């Protein structure tokens, strides 16, 4: 069951800014409420969590907070330049964003349990089949290593300036496939100029 519904930009399906449909995959939300039944129908008000996070980031009236730098650095890696607030809105209007784990963590950088990663596989495939992206950009190696191995096809080796980019394809129900690759998590140690080169190469191949 999809609990945290994805952000789907208004221009996602037309892909006016990017030549391919892009789905960005984060790992998890974090929440200090520590509900024992997080991710269940008992909390329908939380289903829009992902969409609210993106909306809060894009709202110029909101005070700038540290977590917003994650989204800022990543969007710059998509276009290869520093961005204005107006450009930020256009970028996020043209992509989709989904967090893989369907329960919230108790704090930033915390990992889920093996069972939580496994339970998130079915909702993940539902999102892939619903959105049919061309590219799946995965935030962080920990998430990459915990993604499901079923419906997977290894990609050919890709090297960008000496770095081997982990990549492959997820197969869709209709016979299509989604090219998936891993970038460093943009919350820390993320050189957006370098990762723009990686993203561009993966999109162009």
C-beta of residue 88 within 8 angstroms of C-beta of residue 54: no
Rounded Cα–Cα distance for residues 111 and 150 (Å)? 21
pLDDT for the residue numbered 42 = 46
- Single out the residue of 97, 130, 133, 98 nearest to residue 20, CA to CA: 133
Q: Read off the pLDDT of residues 42-57 as tens digits, 9 standing for 90 and up.
A: 466 678 889 999 999 9
| pLDDT surpasses 90 at 38 | no
Q: Read off the pLDDT of residues 81-123 as tens digits, 9 standing for 90 and up.
A: 999 999 999 999 999 999 999 987 665 667 788 999 999 999 9
pTM: 0.93
Rounded Cα–Cα distance for residues 73 and 193 (Å)? 9
- Single out the residue of 147, 130, 142 nearest to residue 183, CA to CA: 142
Helix (H) or strand (E) holding 93: helix 85-93
């Amino acid at each position: 069951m999809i609990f945290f519904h994805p952000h789907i930009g208004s221009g996602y399906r037309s892909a006016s800014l990017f030549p391919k449909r892009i789905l960005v995959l984060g790992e998890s939300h974090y929440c200090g409420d520590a509900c024992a039944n997080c991710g269940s129908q008992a909390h329908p008000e939380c289903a829009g969590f992902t969409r609210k996070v993106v909306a809060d980031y894009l709202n110029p009236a909101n005070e700038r907070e540290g977590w917003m730098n994650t989204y800022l650095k990543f969007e710059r890696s998509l276009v290869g330049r520093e961005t204005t607030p107006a450009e930020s809105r256009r970028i996020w209007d043209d992509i989709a964003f989904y967090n893989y784990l369907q329960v919230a963590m108790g704090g930033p950088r915390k990992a889920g349990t093996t069972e939580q990663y496994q339970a998130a596989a079915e909702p993940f495939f539902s999102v892939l089949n619903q959105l049919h992206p061309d590219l799946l950009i995965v935030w962080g190696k920990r998430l990459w290593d915990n993604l499901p191995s079923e419906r997977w096809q290894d990609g050919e080796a890709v090297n960008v300036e000496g770095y081997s980019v982990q990549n492959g394809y997820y197969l869709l129900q209709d016979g299509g496939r989604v090219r998936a690759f891993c970038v460093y998590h943009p919350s820390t140690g993320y050189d957006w100029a370098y990762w723009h080169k990686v993203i561009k190469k993966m999109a162009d191949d």
